[in-house]
Structure 1
Amino acid sequence: MVNLIRASPVKVKILNNPETNNKSLDLILDKSIWKDSNRGKDIITAVIDSGCAIHHPDLKENIIGVYNFTMDNHGNPNDVTDYIGHGTHVSGIIAASYNKFGIVGVAPESKLLILKVIDQNGVGKYDNLVKAIEYAMNWKGPNDERISIINLSLGGVHHSEELHETIKKARNQGVVLVSASGNEGDGDYTTDEKLFPGYYKEVIQVGSINLEGVPSYFSNSNLNLDFVAPGEKVLSTHLDDKYVELTGTSMAAPHITGIIALALNLLKRENKELNLFSVYEFLLSKSKRLGFPSNQEGNGLVHLK
C-alpha cells in the first residue's frame, strides 16, 4: 500500500453566517463573476479523495454520484463514508452550496462525483487511483451527464507508468485534471519536490500560498508547477456537519478546480471550444505573478472578476 495523502487537521470552527466564509474565496474571485458563470451550474467534478460526508447540509444538494474503491465498510461500493474529513473539506471548497448558512464554495451550483480511494487510515493504493480515474472518465449521470474536471488532492512519491498513461487518456478525452503539488516543501525554491500525479505535465499542478500571497513553506517547488491558490487555514465543510480550518496544498487545488468550473461556463458563453488548452489559456489570462520564482508560484495566482 502506498501512502497517497494525509490530512492536516487544525482547529474546528462552526459557522452559522455565510458572510463569515473563508477569506480565501475573496483572494481568487470577485463574486460578481457568479452571474455570468452561473455559479458553475451543469459542471461536474470528480473528487477522488477520502470520500465525503454526503449528508452535510452544505454538500448534500450537490452530490450527483458516489463510488468506494477502498475496503472500508466491507468494500461496499455505495458507501463513501469519510472517516478523516479530508475529502469532505476538499468538496466544500469546490461546491459548498450558497444556502444562506455555513460557507460557500467557489462554484456553489456545480455538482460532485465522490470517488473514495483513501481509506480510514489515510492511505490508498495506486491501482485504486487508476480505477477511480477510469471510472470518472466512463461515468454517466442520470441524464447522461459527464464529468469535466477531476480533483486530485492526493499523491504518491513514486512515478507509475500505469497512472501516467491513465492521466494521459483522461486528458485526451477532454477531462481537466487538477492536483495538489504536495506538502514536502522545504522553503528552498532551488530544490525540487515531486508528488505524482501532480508532477505530470498533463495535470494542472497547484501550490499553496497564504492569505498575504506568499508561497507556503511546505508547498512543493518544481519546474512543472502551474498555479498557486490559498492553502493555509482554509475553512470548509467537515465531519458531523461542522466546518474546519485545514492547511495544505490539498486545500489549494480545489480552489483552482472551482475556478475551472466557473471558467467552463464563461467559455461556453463566448462559444469557445472547451478543452484543456482553452481552459489553460483562460487561467493564464486571469493569473498574476506574485514576485516569486516560477518553481514556487508557477504562473501565479488566478483571480476572476
Structure 2
Amino acid sequence: MASFNVKASILNVRTAPVENFIDKGNVIAKLFKNAPFESVDEKINKLGTWYQDANNHWVWGEGLNPTIIKKSLKQILYPSWMLELCIPQLWMHSKGKGVGVAVIDTGINPSISNLKYNTDIFYSYNKTSVLDSFGHGTHCAGIIGADHNSNEIFGVAPESHLTICKISEDDFISENDTIRYAEAIEWCNEHDFIHIISISWGSIINNGATLKRIQDAINDAARKNKIIICSIGDASQFNDPGPVYPAALKNTISIGVIPIPPRLYSFINDSLTTITFGNEIKSYSSTQQPLVLSGSSQSNAIIAGIVALFISKNNFRYDFDKVKTMLIKSSIETDFNGKKLPVLNGNLLLNNF
C-alpha cells in the first residue's frame, strides 16, 4: 500500500477510471483537500494515472500530492511475479485471514518479527525445536505468510496463520527417514485449525510400506478437508518424469516451476496440477536476511498462499475438488519446447476467485 494526500480542492471518487471527465455517471463520493488516500493498485489511460483503494474506489492521480507520487506504485511495492499473478487485486477480496497453513519443512527462524507463526503448537521430528538452521523452511514460510516491511519481502497470504512442522535439518532426508512425511501429516490431521498443508519437499521413495502410510495420511487429511499442496520437485533436465513423493500420490495438488533453460526445471508427470513462478523469489534466510532462491519449492509456497486467499475469500466453503478445479481453470496451456504445460494466469485467477 502507499499513502497519499489530496491536493485538489475537491477530488471525485469513482467506481472505475474514465476516459473523459465529463462522464460523471460513476462518481460515488468526493474527497477534499488534504484528505488521506491509501492506494493498492493503479491504471493508466489517456487522462493519466488512476489509483485504486482497497474498497475498489478510484481517483485521478493528478489530484493527489505530487511530492508522494515520485515513482510508479507498482515499482515501489510489488515484485513482478506478484503483479503477474494479480496478488494485489486478490488482496481486495482477502489476505488469508483465519486460514491455517502448516509448513512441512526445515523449521523457521523465530526472530523474524513480521513472520508470525504458532509458537505453542508445532511438530518436530526431534521432539524439541522447530529452529531452522538451514533456511529452506523459513524461506518458504515467508513466501506464504510474511507481512510486508521495508525490505520488499511479501507473503502471499499475510493474514494466514502458520504452523511449523520440522522434518529435517537440511535439504535431504534419507529414504529410511521419509516416514517423517506421514508422521507430520498425521500430526496435522489432529488439528482442526490447519486447513492447508504445504510441502515444498520431494523424495524418491521405493519402500511400499512407507508410501502406503504416507498415502493413508494424505487420504485422512482429504477426509478432514485439508488441502495438501506439494512441490513436484526440481529436475536436472526438461521433461524428466521423476517421480518424487508425496507429490506423485493421490489427493495432492502438485506444483511445478516455470522452466528457465538451462538451469531451472521441475519434474513433469501426470500428477502435475499447474506451474507458476519460482525464479529468484525473495524471502527470508535462516539468518533473518533477505535471500533470493529459485525452484519448485518457491512455486509451491506461492500456490499455498493463493489457496489460503481463496479459502478465506470463500468463507471456508471449499473442498479439494473445488480448489484443484480453480487452479486448473486459472491455468493456460503453454508450449515449452514442444511440451504443453499448464501455467497459472493472474487474470484467470481473478475471474475464478
Q: 1:165, 1:64 → 2: CA distance?
A: 28
Q: 1:114, 1:65 → 2: CA distance?
A: 10
1:103 is displaced (CA, Å) by 1.1
Please tell me whether the aligned partners of residues 158 and 196 of structure 1 are also in contact (alpha carbons under 8 angstroms): yes
Alignment of 1:124-135 (within 5 A): 125-135=177-187
Q: 1:118 aligns to what?
A: 168
Q: 1:172, 1:294 → 2: CA distance?
A: 38
Please tell me whether the aligned partners of residues 147 and 158 of structure 2 are also in contact (alpha carbons under 8 angstroms): yes
1:278 is displaced (CA, Å) by 1.3
Shift in alpha-carbon separation, 1:243–1:109, aligned structure 2, 3 A: same
1:20 is displaced (CA, Å) by 5.5
Alignment of 1:69-148 (within 5 A): 69-71=124-126, 75-76=127-128, 79-99=129-149, 101-120=151-170, 122-123=172-173, 125-139=177-191, 146-148=193-195
Q: 1:143 aligns to what?
A: none
Instruction: Give the share of equivalent positions with the same residue, in percent.
Output: 25
Shift in alpha-carbon separation, 1:273–1:172, aligned structure 2, 3 A: same
Alignment of 1:186-265 (within 5 A): 186-187=237-238, 189=239, 191-209=240-258, 217-265=264-312
Match among 308, 325, 330 for residue 281 of structure 1 = 325
Please tell me whether the aligned partners of residues 174 and 276 of structure 1 are also in contact (alpha carbons under 8 angstroms): yes
Please tell me whether the aligned partners of residues 199 and 231 of structure 2 are also in contact (alpha carbons under 8 angstroms): yes
1:30 is displaced (CA, Å) by 3.9
1:111 is displaced (CA, Å) by 1.0
Q: 1:82, 1:156 → 2: CA distance?
A: 20
Deviates most, 112-121 or 286-295: 286-295
Shift in alpha-carbon separation, 1:138–1:295, aligned structure 2, 3 A: farther
* Residue identity opposite 1:58 in structure 2: N
- SS at 1:119's partner residue? coil
Give the number of the structure with larger relative contact order, counting CA–CA contacts within 8 Å between residues 6 or more apart.
Answer: 1
Q: 1:168 aligns to what?
A: 219
* Residue identity opposite 1:254 in structure 2: A
- SS at 1:109's partner residue? coil
Q: 1:53 aligns to what?
A: 109
Q: 1:21, 1:224 → 2: CA distance?
A: 31
* Residue identity opposite 1:238 in structure 2: S
1:243 is displaced (CA, Å) by 0.9
Shift in alpha-carbon separation, 1:243–1:100, aligned structure 2, 3 A: closer
Q: 2:222, 2:149 → 1: CA distance?
A: 33
- SS at 1:107's partner residue? coil
Choose 1 or 2 for highest CA Rg.
2
Matched positions, count: 268
Please, what TM-score do these two structures have when normalized by structure 1?
Answer: 0.79
1:296 is displaced (CA, Å) by 6.3
Deviates most, 275-284 or 95-104: 95-104
1:209 is displaced (CA, Å) by 1.2
Q: 1:25 aligns to what?
A: 82
Q: 2:78, 2:262 → 1: CA distance?
A: 22
Structure 2 stretches lacking a partner, 5+ long: 1-74
- SS at 2:250's partner residue? coil
1:300 equivalent to 2:350? Answer no
Q: Structure 1, residues 164-196: CA drift from partner, whole Å, max 9, x if none?
A: 111111112111010011112421x3x421010
1:99 is displaced (CA, Å) by 4.2
- SS at 1:240's partner residue? coil
Q: Structure 1, residues 4-63: CA drift from partner, whole Å, max 9, x if none?
A: xxxxxxxxxxxxxx94654322232240221212x001001000000001221230x344
Please, what TM-score do these two structures have when normalized by structure 2?
Answer: 0.69
- SS at 2:88's partner residue? coil
Q: Structure 1, residues 58-83: CA drift from partner, whole Å, max 9, x if none?
A: 30x34465434333xxx41xx21101
Shift in alpha-carbon separation, 1:232–1:34, aligned structure 2, 3 A: same
1:229 is displaced (CA, Å) by 1.3
- SS at 2:143's partner residue? helix
* Residue identity opposite 1:34 in structure 2: W
1:302 is displaced (CA, Å) by 4.1
More strand by share: 2
1:67 equivalent to 2:122? Answer yes
* Residue identity opposite 2:254 in structure 1: Q
Please tell me whether the aligned partners of residues 153 and 254 of structure 1 are also in contact (alpha carbons under 8 angstroms): yes
Please tell me whether the aligned partners of residues 209 and 216 of structure 1 are also in contact (alpha carbons under 8 angstroms): no
Please tell me whether the aligned partners of residues 181 and 220 of structure 1 are also in contact (alpha carbons under 8 angstroms): yes
